[in-house]
Protein backbone atom coordinates (compact mmCIF):
# COMPACT_ATOMS: atom_id res chain seq x y z
CA UNK A 1 0.00 0.00 0.00
CA UNK A 2 2.92 2.27 0.56
CA UNK A 3 3.50 3.39 -2.98
CA UNK A 4 0.48 5.59 -3.01
CA UNK A 5 0.40 6.89 0.52
CA UNK A 6 4.06 7.68 0.75
CA UNK A 7 3.58 10.35 -1.83
CA UNK A 8 0.53 11.76 -0.19
CA UNK A 9 2.25 14.07 2.26
CA UNK A 10 4.80 15.11 -0.29
CA UNK A 11 2.04 16.00 -2.71
CA UNK A 12 0.14 17.83 0.01
CA UNK A 13 3.16 19.96 0.73
CA UNK A 14 3.99 20.40 -2.93
CA UNK A 15 0.45 21.61 -3.47
CA UNK A 16 0.99 24.20 -0.76
CA UNK A 17 4.34 25.14 -2.25
CA UNK A 18 2.87 25.44 -5.72
CA UNK A 19 0.12 27.66 -4.42
CA UNK A 20 2.72 29.90 -2.84
CA UNK A 21 4.97 29.81 -5.93
CA UNK A 22 2.12 30.83 -8.18
CA UNK A 23 1.41 33.81 -6.01
CA UNK A 24 5.08 34.70 -6.00
CA UNK A 25 5.33 34.32 -9.76
CA UNK A 26 2.34 36.60 -10.01
CA UNK A 27 4.29 39.15 -8.03
CA UNK A 28 7.04 38.89 -10.67
CA UNK A 29 9.90 38.13 -8.30
CA UNK A 30 13.23 36.45 -8.88
CA UNK A 31 13.82 33.06 -7.41
CA UNK A 32 16.61 34.24 -5.14
CA UNK A 33 14.41 36.61 -3.16
CA UNK A 34 13.57 35.63 0.37
CA UNK A 35 10.18 34.01 0.35
CA UNK A 36 9.20 35.77 3.56
CA UNK A 37 9.38 39.06 1.68
CA UNK A 38 6.08 38.09 0.16
CA UNK A 39 4.40 36.86 3.28
CA UNK A 40 1.73 39.52 2.83
CA UNK A 41 0.91 38.11 -0.59
CA UNK A 42 0.10 34.69 0.68
CA UNK A 43 -0.85 35.26 4.26
CA UNK A 44 -4.40 34.70 3.07
CA UNK A 45 -3.55 31.12 2.08
CA UNK A 46 -6.24 29.02 3.66
CA UNK A 47 -5.35 25.42 4.48
CA UNK A 48 -7.72 22.94 2.88
CA UNK A 49 -8.55 19.37 3.62
CA UNK A 50 -7.05 16.71 1.49
CA UNK A 51 -8.62 13.28 1.69
CA UNK A 52 -7.39 10.02 0.28
CA UNK A 53 -9.76 7.13 0.93
CA UNK A 54 -8.66 3.87 -0.62
CA UNK A 55 -10.65 0.69 -0.10
CA UNK A 56 -9.06 -2.71 -0.56
CA UNK A 57 -11.65 -5.45 -1.00
CA UNK A 58 -8.96 -8.19 -1.07
CA UNK A 59 -7.31 -7.13 2.18
CA UNK A 60 -10.05 -4.98 3.78
CA UNK A 61 -7.79 -4.31 6.76
CA UNK A 62 -5.52 -2.36 4.39
CA UNK A 63 -8.32 0.06 3.55
CA UNK A 64 -7.27 3.49 4.67
CA UNK A 65 -8.66 7.01 4.88
CA UNK A 66 -6.15 9.82 5.19
CA UNK A 67 -7.33 13.27 6.16
CA UNK A 68 -4.70 15.97 6.18
CA UNK A 69 -4.68 19.69 5.72
CA UNK A 70 -2.54 21.39 3.13
CA UNK A 71 0.00 23.84 4.47
CA UNK A 72 1.81 26.88 3.19
CA UNK A 73 5.60 26.94 3.12
CA UNK A 74 5.63 29.85 5.57
CA UNK A 75 3.52 27.98 8.10
CA UNK A 76 5.74 28.69 11.07
CA UNK A 77 3.63 26.48 13.31
CA UNK A 78 4.59 23.46 11.23
CA UNK A 79 8.00 24.60 9.96
CA UNK A 80 9.18 26.12 13.22
CA UNK A 81 12.91 25.42 12.82
CA UNK A 82 12.94 23.58 16.14
CA UNK A 83 13.83 20.01 16.93
CA UNK A 84 10.45 19.17 18.40
CA UNK A 85 11.10 15.46 18.83
CA UNK A 86 14.65 15.68 20.15
CA UNK A 87 16.48 13.61 17.54
CA UNK A 88 18.81 16.29 16.17
CA UNK A 89 22.51 15.55 16.86
CA UNK A 90 25.06 18.37 17.30
CA UNK A 91 28.66 18.11 16.12
CA UNK A 92 30.94 15.75 18.08
CA UNK A 93 33.25 17.89 20.13
CA UNK A 94 36.04 15.31 20.17
CA UNK A 95 38.66 17.54 21.78
CA UNK A 96 36.18 19.03 24.25
CA UNK A 97 37.01 22.66 23.51
CA UNK A 98 33.36 23.67 23.12
CA UNK A 99 33.57 24.50 19.43
CA UNK A 100 33.65 22.65 16.16
CA UNK A 101 37.13 22.04 14.74
CA UNK A 102 38.03 20.71 11.31
CA UNK A 103 37.87 16.94 11.38
CA UNK A 104 35.18 16.72 14.06
CA UNK A 105 32.02 15.02 12.79
CA UNK A 106 29.28 17.58 12.16
CA UNK A 107 26.46 15.00 12.49
CA UNK A 108 23.21 16.96 11.94
CA UNK A 109 24.85 20.32 12.58
CA UNK A 110 25.30 20.90 8.85
CA UNK A 111 24.01 24.47 8.57
CA UNK A 112 20.98 25.78 6.76
CA UNK A 113 21.88 24.13 3.44
CA UNK A 114 22.01 20.73 5.16
CA UNK A 115 25.29 19.99 3.37
CA UNK A 116 28.71 19.54 4.91
CA UNK A 117 30.74 22.69 4.12
CA UNK A 118 33.97 21.27 2.78
CA UNK A 119 32.25 18.62 0.73
CA UNK A 120 34.06 18.31 -2.63
CA UNK A 121 35.65 21.72 -2.40
CA UNK A 122 32.32 23.36 -1.65
CA UNK A 123 33.40 26.75 -0.35
CA UNK A 124 33.41 27.10 3.39
CA UNK A 125 30.79 26.62 6.01
CA UNK A 126 27.34 28.12 5.80
CA UNK A 127 25.22 29.75 8.48
CA UNK A 128 24.57 27.52 11.43
CA UNK A 129 27.12 24.87 10.45
CA UNK A 130 28.93 23.48 13.47
CA UNK A 131 27.41 26.05 15.79
CA UNK A 132 26.10 23.40 18.16
CA UNK A 133 22.52 24.61 17.65
CA UNK A 134 19.63 23.24 15.59
CA UNK A 135 18.93 25.39 12.53
CA UNK A 136 16.25 25.28 9.85
CA UNK A 137 17.49 23.24 6.91
CA UNK A 138 19.50 20.81 9.00
CA UNK A 139 18.61 17.11 9.13
CA UNK A 140 16.10 16.11 11.82
CA UNK A 141 14.66 19.63 11.97
CA UNK A 142 11.03 19.91 10.80
CA UNK A 143 11.31 16.39 9.40
CA UNK A 144 8.32 14.14 8.66
CA UNK A 145 8.11 12.81 12.23
CA UNK A 146 7.64 16.35 13.45
CA UNK A 147 5.34 17.83 10.83
CA UNK A 148 3.04 14.89 10.07
CA UNK A 149 1.20 15.00 13.40
CA UNK A 150 0.59 18.70 12.78
CA UNK A 151 -1.11 18.25 9.42
CA UNK A 152 -3.28 15.23 10.26
CA UNK A 153 -6.92 15.89 11.05
CA UNK A 154 -7.46 13.37 13.82
CA UNK A 155 -10.91 14.54 14.85
CA UNK A 156 -13.08 13.76 11.83
CA UNK A 157 -15.88 11.21 11.73
CA UNK A 158 -15.36 8.73 8.92
CA UNK A 159 -18.33 6.63 7.85
CA UNK A 160 -18.57 4.24 4.91
CA UNK A 161 -22.00 3.02 3.85
CA UNK A 162 -22.69 0.13 1.53
CA UNK A 163 -25.18 1.50 -1.02
CA UNK A 164 -25.14 -1.55 -3.30
CA UNK A 165 -28.67 -2.86 -3.48
CA UNK A 166 -28.73 -6.65 -3.18
CA UNK A 167 -25.41 -6.80 -1.34
CA UNK A 168 -25.50 -8.80 1.93
CA UNK A 169 -24.50 -5.69 3.84
CA UNK A 170 -26.64 -3.20 1.91
CA UNK A 171 -27.36 -0.15 4.05
CA UNK A 172 -24.73 -1.01 6.65
CA UNK A 173 -22.39 1.74 7.77
CA UNK A 174 -18.80 0.95 8.68
CA UNK A 175 -16.88 3.24 10.99
CA UNK A 176 -13.25 4.06 10.36
CA UNK A 177 -11.30 5.09 13.45
CA UNK A 178 -8.20 7.19 13.91
CA UNK A 179 -4.93 5.22 14.30
CA UNK A 180 -1.82 7.28 15.00
CA UNK A 181 0.56 4.76 13.41
CA UNK A 182 -1.67 3.59 10.60
CA UNK A 183 0.96 3.02 7.96
CA UNK A 184 4.51 3.93 7.08
CA UNK A 185 6.83 4.82 4.26
CA UNK A 186 10.59 4.81 3.93
CA UNK A 187 12.92 7.65 3.22
CA UNK A 188 16.51 7.36 2.09
CA UNK A 189 19.02 9.65 3.72
CA UNK A 190 22.32 10.46 2.09
CA UNK A 191 24.92 11.77 4.45
CA UNK A 192 28.46 13.00 4.32
CA UNK A 193 30.73 13.71 1.36
CA UNK A 194 28.87 11.27 -0.90
CA UNK A 195 25.65 13.20 -0.50
CA UNK A 196 25.74 14.71 -3.96
CA UNK A 197 26.76 11.42 -5.51
CA UNK A 198 23.85 9.63 -4.01
CA UNK A 199 24.21 6.62 -6.29
CA UNK A 200 27.61 5.83 -4.86
CA UNK A 201 26.58 5.85 -1.25
CA UNK A 202 24.51 3.40 0.71
CA UNK A 203 21.69 5.53 2.07
CA UNK A 204 20.46 5.29 5.59
CA UNK A 205 16.86 4.07 5.45
CA UNK A 206 14.36 5.54 7.85
CA UNK A 207 10.80 4.36 8.34
CA UNK A 208 8.30 7.14 8.92
CA UNK A 209 4.89 6.37 10.39
CA UNK A 210 1.82 8.42 9.78
CA UNK A 211 -1.69 8.51 11.13
CA UNK A 212 -4.89 7.70 9.26
CA UNK A 213 -8.31 6.16 9.72
CA UNK A 214 -8.68 2.38 9.63
CA UNK A 215 -11.55 -0.06 9.55
CA UNK A 216 -13.02 -0.58 13.01
CA UNK A 217 -15.37 -3.30 14.14
CA UNK A 218 -16.51 -6.47 12.46
CA UNK A 219 -17.94 -5.31 9.15
CA UNK A 220 -15.78 -5.35 6.08
CA UNK A 221 -15.23 -3.86 2.65
CA UNK A 222 -16.55 -6.14 -0.07
CA UNK A 223 -15.80 -6.55 -3.71
CA UNK A 224 -18.01 -5.15 -6.46
CA UNK A 225 -20.02 -2.99 -4.06
CA UNK A 226 -20.77 0.68 -4.24
CA UNK A 227 -19.82 2.61 -1.12
CA UNK A 228 -20.54 6.10 0.02
CA UNK A 229 -17.86 7.78 2.08
CA UNK A 230 -18.96 10.48 4.50
CA UNK A 231 -16.48 12.62 6.36
CA UNK A 232 -17.69 15.05 8.98
CA UNK A 233 -15.00 17.53 9.88
CA UNK A 234 -16.00 19.86 12.66
CA UNK A 235 -12.62 21.53 12.47
CA UNK A 236 -13.25 22.61 8.88
CA UNK A 237 -17.04 22.82 9.12
CA UNK A 238 -17.35 20.40 6.23
CA UNK A 239 -19.46 17.42 5.39
CA UNK A 240 -17.69 15.65 2.55
CA UNK A 241 -19.07 12.78 0.52
CA UNK A 242 -18.10 10.64 -2.43
CA UNK A 243 -19.02 7.28 -3.86
CA UNK A 244 -16.99 4.51 -5.44
CA UNK A 245 -17.41 0.94 -6.60
CA UNK A 246 -14.78 -1.52 -5.39
CA UNK A 247 -13.51 -3.81 -8.12
CA UNK A 248 -12.04 -7.30 -7.92
CA UNK A 249 -8.35 -8.11 -8.38
CA UNK A 250 -6.93 -9.05 -11.77
CA UNK A 251 -7.13 -12.60 -13.06
CA UNK A 252 -3.89 -13.92 -14.53
CA UNK A 253 -4.24 -15.44 -17.98
CA UNK A 254 -2.23 -18.60 -17.78
CA UNK A 255 -2.29 -21.12 -20.58
CA UNK A 256 -4.82 -19.15 -22.56
CA UNK A 257 -4.83 -19.41 -26.34
CA UNK A 258 -3.27 -15.97 -26.64
CA UNK A 259 -0.72 -16.37 -23.88
CA UNK A 260 0.46 -19.97 -23.75
CA UNK A 261 2.54 -20.47 -20.61
CA UNK A 262 4.05 -23.28 -18.60
CA UNK A 263 2.42 -23.54 -15.22
CA UNK A 264 3.95 -25.72 -12.53
CA UNK A 265 1.32 -25.80 -9.80
CA UNK A 266 0.93 -22.07 -8.96
CA UNK A 267 4.19 -20.97 -10.55
CA UNK A 268 4.74 -19.74 -14.09
CA UNK A 269 7.92 -21.15 -15.58
CA UNK A 270 10.10 -19.23 -18.03
CA UNK A 271 13.36 -20.15 -19.72
CA UNK A 272 16.30 -17.92 -18.85
CA UNK A 273 17.42 -15.83 -21.81
CA UNK A 274 14.11 -16.02 -23.66
CA UNK A 275 11.66 -13.16 -23.81
CA UNK A 276 8.27 -13.78 -22.27
CA UNK A 277 5.56 -12.08 -20.34
CA UNK A 278 2.59 -12.34 -18.04
CA UNK A 279 -0.91 -11.29 -19.03
CA UNK A 280 -4.03 -10.72 -16.98
CA UNK A 281 -7.56 -9.51 -17.43
CA UNK A 282 -9.48 -7.27 -15.11
CA UNK A 283 -12.82 -5.68 -14.35
CA UNK A 284 -14.36 -3.52 -17.06
CA UNK A 285 -14.10 -0.56 -14.67
CA UNK A 286 -10.34 -0.91 -14.16
CA UNK A 287 -8.15 2.02 -15.12
CA UNK A 288 -4.56 1.91 -13.91
CA UNK A 289 -2.45 -1.08 -12.87
CA UNK A 290 0.51 -0.96 -10.58
CA UNK A 291 3.15 -3.64 -11.09
CA UNK A 292 5.58 -4.84 -8.45
CA UNK A 293 8.25 -7.42 -9.20
CA UNK A 294 10.05 -8.96 -6.25
CA UNK A 295 12.72 -11.62 -6.07
CA UNK A 296 12.57 -14.32 -3.43
CA UNK A 297 16.04 -14.30 -1.94
CA UNK A 298 15.17 -16.87 0.70
CA UNK A 299 11.91 -18.62 1.52
CA UNK A 300 10.69 -15.64 3.55
CA UNK A 301 12.56 -12.70 2.10
CA UNK A 302 11.38 -10.68 -0.88
CA UNK A 303 13.55 -8.04 -2.46
CA UNK A 304 12.01 -5.39 -4.71
CA UNK A 305 13.26 -5.62 -8.29
CA UNK A 306 11.12 -2.92 -9.86
CA UNK A 307 7.67 -1.34 -9.81
CA UNK A 308 5.77 0.92 -12.15
CA UNK A 309 2.28 1.89 -13.26
CA UNK A 310 0.79 0.21 -16.33
CA UNK A 311 -2.43 0.38 -18.31
CA UNK A 312 -4.79 -1.97 -20.11
CA UNK A 313 -3.57 -2.57 -23.66
CA UNK A 314 -6.11 -1.60 -26.28
CA UNK A 315 -5.22 -4.24 -28.85
CA UNK A 316 -5.30 -7.08 -26.35
CA UNK A 317 -8.46 -5.71 -24.78
CA UNK A 318 -10.24 -5.59 -28.13
CA UNK A 319 -9.44 -9.24 -28.85
CA UNK A 320 -10.67 -10.09 -25.35
CA UNK A 321 -14.25 -8.95 -26.00
CA UNK A 322 -13.53 -5.55 -24.46
CA UNK A 323 -12.51 -6.97 -21.11
CA UNK A 324 -9.35 -5.04 -20.12
CA UNK A 325 -6.09 -6.94 -20.58
CA UNK A 326 -2.72 -5.95 -19.15
CA UNK A 327 0.66 -7.40 -19.98
CA UNK A 328 4.02 -7.28 -18.25
CA UNK A 329 6.95 -8.31 -20.43
CA UNK A 330 9.68 -10.37 -18.80
CA UNK A 331 12.91 -9.57 -20.52
CA UNK A 332 15.69 -12.00 -21.24
CA UNK A 333 18.03 -10.36 -18.74
CA UNK A 334 15.99 -11.50 -15.76
CA UNK A 335 18.29 -13.84 -13.89
CA UNK A 336 17.26 -17.35 -12.92
CA UNK A 337 15.38 -17.47 -9.65
CA UNK A 338 11.95 -17.32 -8.07
CA UNK A 339 9.99 -14.08 -8.38
CA UNK A 340 6.68 -12.74 -7.18
CA UNK A 341 4.75 -10.50 -9.53
CA UNK A 342 1.99 -8.44 -7.93
CA UNK A 343 -0.52 -6.55 -10.04
CA UNK A 344 -2.69 -4.01 -8.24
CA UNK A 345 -5.67 -2.67 -10.10
CA UNK A 346 -7.19 0.72 -9.35
CA UNK A 347 -10.79 1.46 -10.04
CA UNK A 348 -11.74 4.38 -12.24
CA UNK A 349 -11.90 6.94 -9.43
CA UNK A 350 -8.54 6.06 -7.99
CA UNK A 351 -6.90 5.76 -11.38
CA UNK A 352 -8.06 9.25 -12.37
CA UNK A 353 -6.69 10.66 -9.17
CA UNK A 354 -3.44 8.72 -9.17
CA UNK A 355 -2.56 9.17 -12.80
CA UNK A 356 -3.68 12.47 -14.22
CA UNK A 357 -2.18 15.86 -14.86
CA UNK A 358 -5.39 17.70 -14.02
CA UNK A 359 -5.30 20.24 -11.19
CA UNK A 360 -5.94 18.69 -7.79
CA UNK A 361 -9.38 20.22 -7.44
CA UNK A 362 -10.54 19.50 -10.95
CA UNK A 363 -13.97 17.85 -10.67
CA UNK A 364 -12.70 15.17 -13.08
CA UNK A 365 -9.77 14.32 -10.84
CA UNK A 366 -11.50 14.25 -7.48
CA UNK A 367 -14.85 12.58 -6.78
CA UNK A 368 -15.22 14.21 -3.36
CA UNK A 369 -17.64 17.07 -2.76
CA UNK A 370 -18.46 19.15 0.28
CA UNK A 371 -21.99 20.05 1.39
CA UNK A 372 -21.91 23.07 -0.93
CA UNK A 373 -21.07 20.94 -3.96
CA UNK A 374 -17.46 22.14 -4.16
CA UNK A 375 -14.65 19.78 -5.15
CA UNK A 376 -12.45 18.64 -2.28
CA UNK A 377 -8.85 17.63 -2.94
CA UNK A 378 -8.49 13.88 -2.87
CA UNK A 379 -10.38 10.76 -3.82
CA UNK A 380 -12.42 7.84 -2.67
CA UNK A 381 -11.43 4.82 -4.73
CA UNK A 382 -10.39 1.22 -4.58
CA UNK A 383 -7.36 -0.91 -5.22
CA UNK A 384 -7.06 -4.70 -5.24
CA UNK A 385 -4.04 -6.88 -5.78
CA UNK A 386 -3.23 -10.34 -6.99
CA UNK A 387 0.15 -12.07 -7.18
CA UNK A 388 1.69 -14.89 -9.11
CA UNK A 389 5.01 -16.66 -8.68
CA UNK A 390 7.40 -16.83 -11.59
CA UNK A 391 10.36 -19.16 -11.91
CA UNK A 392 13.09 -18.32 -14.38
CA UNK A 393 15.29 -21.33 -14.99
CA1 LIG B 1 36.10 20.89 19.15
CA1 LIG C 1 23.51 24.33 13.45
CA1 LIG D 1 13.62 16.37 14.93
CA1 LIG E 1 10.07 21.42 14.11
Distance between CA atoms of residues 27 and 194, nearest Å: 38
**Structural domains of the chain, with CATH:** 2-74+150-245 (no CATH), 81-141 (no CATH), 251-372+381-392 (2.60.40)
Residues with CB under 5 A from ligand 1 (ion): 93, 95, 97, 101
Q: Give exposure, 186-203, as e/b (b: 16+ Cβ within 10 Å).
A: eeeeebeeebeeeeebee
pLDDT tens readout for residues 239-278 = 999 999 999 999 999 877 777 778 888 899 998 888 889 9
Quick check: helix, strand or coil at residue 244? strand
pLDDT tens readout for residues 5-35 = 444 444 444 444 433 333 333 333 333 344 4
Lowest mean pLDDT among 50-59, 115-124, 327-336: 115-124
Distance between CA atoms of residues 255 and 263, nearest Å: 8
Distance between CA atoms of residues 111 and 188, nearest Å: 20
Supply the DSSP string of 50-82, one letter for each residue.
Answer: EEEEEE-SSSGGG-EEEEEE---TT-TTTS-SS
Taken as a whole, the chain contains a residue count of 393
Query: What letter would DSSP give residue 340?
Result: E
Supply the DSSP string of 145-174, one letter for each residue.
Answer: HHHHHHHB--S-EEEEEE--TTSTTTT-EE
For residue 80, the CA-to-ligand 2 centroid distance in Å is: 14
pLDDT tens readout for residues 69-101 = 887 777 788 888 899 999 999 999 999 999 998
For residue 192, the CA-to-ligand 2 centroid distance in Å is: 15
Supply the DSSP string of 259-273, one letter for each residue.
Answer: S--EEETTEEEE-TT
Neighbours of 355 (CB within 10 A): 13
Please tell me the predicted confidence (pLDDT) of residue 48: 87
Residues 6+ apart with CB under 8 A from 356: 364, 365
Residues with CB under 5 A from ligand 3 (ion): 83, 85, 87, 140
Distance between CA atoms of residues 375 and 364, nearest Å: 9
Amino acid sequence: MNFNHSNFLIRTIIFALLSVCLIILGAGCEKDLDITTFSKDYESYVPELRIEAVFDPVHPENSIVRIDRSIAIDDTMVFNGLDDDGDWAPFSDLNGNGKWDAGEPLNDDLGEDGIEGQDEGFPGRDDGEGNGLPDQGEPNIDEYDEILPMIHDTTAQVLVTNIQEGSPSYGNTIVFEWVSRADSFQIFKYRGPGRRNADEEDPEVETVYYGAYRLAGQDTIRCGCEYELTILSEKFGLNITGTTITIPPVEFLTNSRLFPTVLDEDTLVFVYGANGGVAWQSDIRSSVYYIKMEKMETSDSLVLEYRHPAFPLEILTSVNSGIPVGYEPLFSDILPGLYKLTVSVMNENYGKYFYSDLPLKDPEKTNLRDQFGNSVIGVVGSIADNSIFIRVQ
